[in-house]
């Protein structure tokens, strides 16, 4: 955040941590990422020319145009993906500490797309990713193709049940598991396998699920390394040129993990979808993968129960209902940023994915403890915008369509009038069809106010056709609790 001070400008990171920094003369990332106050307000030095001569001073642009594809939303039973509509963004003009002293433009860290994998794609209370998650990885592959060279970062989230420290670590392990699949890093899965965390113990049951998926049935998925499991391991070992001893050694596990990842993570054409470390926001800049993978624990739920609901759902007989109602909170989110975005890791506020939560708490809003408290009314992030305790995550992810439609469903609520916006097109038949992954089609007749309403609609792109009206029109999914319809003025 920049604040004018007299005739100068002072630079302060504050809540604006995680900037993208590019030279005024082009999109090349500026080394260092340090900043110092600019001596003269409104005057900015352009970078020197190839000859070394420095051009005249130039004005800070103030706003930077952003070209973004039209918003798209695709949903699967276990997740969703969205491209975001973006307009111009504020530019922040600051000076660097690089040797040639060239000035820079710092742009806000704003996602251009987002993706979510829901809790049901993981084993219960575990970081192991189930075979059904292939659909969600395909969604991400499509999104990455739509936004080439857009750096990615992952955030794991848990529900507000249980111990903060436990949930922080579990959410980080889930984000690491996704990162490992995307980068094809079996060694990271070996760490998760070999170092259990509470109930997140992969063990023999996980290996049985992988063997079953790879076409080598281990018999019942019971977590017992019996004879059928050993036979399945031998078959896999034989297929992969390993010693056939029926024992899941580290080498056998590495081969198993890699084969499973290759089958799990493919694009829409069925080809392997693989990312490099350089494709992530932190670019693997440190051993803890900061900037690439974060574990947010239970600090940023999209749903918080009322006090009465919380007390009722804490009863042992209601635990299953509690877990179902909390499901939207348990998720891994990917945010994609504009190509060329870089962050100085020294300024990145999030701790390592599996570290403790003390640094997370330092990033809370001033009312963070209140946000985390169960209050008189149930709160849903898309409506109340007060359930994320972390101000950093709230600022960069709060407008992402994935978090706004965190439950994966919303409402179609529209009012159709004539071209002048006066008369409702009452009684007309209509049909709404999805353009993306959603399977449902909605049809009916407009009421006497020219309105239509459908709840529980998967987030996606839809087209609307009204009887007697030429052409096709956009139909947007609103928040589930939307109380006002979208207005559409159509030639009647």
Q: What is the pLDDT of residues 199-219, one digit of tens each?
A: 999 999 999 999 999 999 999
Using a cut of 0.85, tell me whether the model's pTM lies above it: no
Tokens of 140: 């991400």
111-404 and 409-489 in the same fold: no
Condensed to tens digits (0 to 9), the pLDDT of residues 319-346 reads 999 998 899 999 999 999 999 888 888 8
- Residue 409: phi and psi, rounded to 5, are -135, 155
The confidence band for 436, taking pLDDT boundaries of 50, 70 and 90, is: low
Burial of 484 (0-12, 13-18, 19+ CB in 10 A): exposed
Closest by alpha carbon to 473, among 427, 414, 422, 428? 414
The domain locations on the chain are 2-107, 111-404, 409-489
pLDDT digits (tens, 9 = 90+) for 68-109: 445 666 777 788 888 876 554 444 444 444 444 444 445 678
Q: Which CATH architecture has domain 111-404?
A: 2-Layer Sandwich (3.30)
Sign of the CA dihedral 16, 20, 23, 25?
A: negative
Do 359 and 295 meet the contact criterion of CB atoms below 8 Å apart?
no
pLDDT category at 183 given cuts 50, 70, 90 is very high
Compute the mean pLDDT over every residue in the chain, rounded to the nearest whole number. 79
Distance separating alpha carbons of residues 246 and 243, to the nearest angstrom: 8
H or E stretch including 212?
helix 203-213
State whether the Cα torsion 284-85-139-452 is positive or negative.
Answer: positive
Torsion sign, CA atoms 477, 479, 481, 483: negative
Cα→Cα distances 176→229, 339, 354, 415, Å: 27, 23, 9, 45
Mean pLDDT of 394-400: 86
User: For 4, how many CA atoms within 13 A lie in the half-sphere containing its CB?
Assistant: 6
Radius of gyration in angstroms for the set of CA atoms belonging to the chain, rounded to a whole number: 25
- Tokens describing residue 328: 């939207």
Q: What is the fold, at CATH topology level, of the domain defined by 409-489?
A: Immunoglobulin-like (2.60.40)
């Amino acid at each position: 955040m920049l604040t004018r001070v007299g005739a100068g400008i002072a630079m302060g990171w504050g809540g604006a941590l995680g900037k993208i920094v590019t030279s005024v003369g082009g999109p090349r990332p500026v080394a260092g990422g340090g900043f110092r106050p600019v001596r003269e307000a409104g005057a900015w030095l352009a970078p020197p020319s190839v000859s070394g001569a420095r051009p005249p001073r130039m004005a800070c642009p103030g706003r930077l145009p952003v070209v973004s594809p039209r918003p798209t939303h695709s949903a699967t039973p276990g997740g969703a993906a969205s491209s975001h509509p973006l307009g111009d963004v504020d530019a922040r003009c600051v000076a660097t500490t690089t040797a040639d002293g060239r000035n820079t433009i710092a742009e806000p860290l704003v996602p251009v797309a987002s993706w979510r994998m829901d809790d049901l794609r993981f084993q219960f209370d575990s970081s192991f990713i189930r075979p059904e998650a292939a659909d969600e990885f395909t969604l991400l592959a499509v999104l990455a193709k739509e936004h080439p060279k857009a750096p990615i970062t992952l955030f794991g989230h848990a529900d507000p049940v249980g111990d903060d420290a436990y949930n922080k670590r579990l959410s980080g392990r889930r984000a690491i598991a996704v990162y490992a699949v995307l980068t094809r890093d079996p060694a990271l899965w070996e760490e998760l396998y070999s170092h259990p965390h509470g109930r997140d113990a992969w063990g023999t049951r996980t290996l049985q699920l992988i063997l079953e998926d790879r076409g080598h049935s281990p018999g019942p998925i019971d977590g017992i390394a019996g004879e059928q499991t050993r036979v399945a391991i031998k078959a896999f070992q034989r297929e992969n040129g390993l010693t056939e001893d029926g024992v899941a050694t580290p080498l056998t596990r590495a081969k198993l993990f890699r084969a499973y990842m290759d089958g799990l993570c493919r694009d829409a054409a069925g080809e392997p979808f693989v990312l490099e470390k350089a494709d992530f926001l932190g670019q693997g800049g440190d051993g803890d993968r900061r900037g690439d993978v974060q574990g947010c624990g239970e600090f940023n739920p999209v749903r918080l129960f009322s006090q009465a609901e919380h007390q009722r759902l804490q009863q042992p007989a209601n635990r299953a209902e509690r877990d179902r109602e909390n499901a939207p909170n348990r998720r891994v989110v990917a945010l994609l940023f504009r190509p060329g975005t870089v962050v100085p890791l020294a300024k990145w506020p999030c701790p390592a994915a599996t570290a403790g939560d003390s640094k997370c708490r330092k990033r809370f809003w001033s009312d963070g403890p209140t946000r985390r408290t169960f209050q008189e009314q149930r709160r849903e992030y898309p409506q109340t915008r007060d359930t994320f305790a972390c101000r950093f995550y709230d600022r960069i992810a709060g407008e992402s369509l994935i978090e706004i439609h965190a439950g994966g469903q919303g409402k179609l609520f529209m009012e159709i009038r004539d071209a002048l916006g006066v008369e409702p097109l009452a009684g007309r038949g209509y049909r709404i069809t999805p353009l993306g992954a959603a399977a449902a089609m909605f049809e009916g007749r407009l009421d006497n106010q020219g309105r239509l309403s459908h709840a529980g609609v998967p987030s996606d792109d839809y087209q609307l056709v009204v009887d007697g009206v030429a052409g096709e029109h956009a139909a947007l999914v609103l928040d589930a609790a939307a109380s006002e319809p979208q207005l559409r003025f159509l030639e009647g």
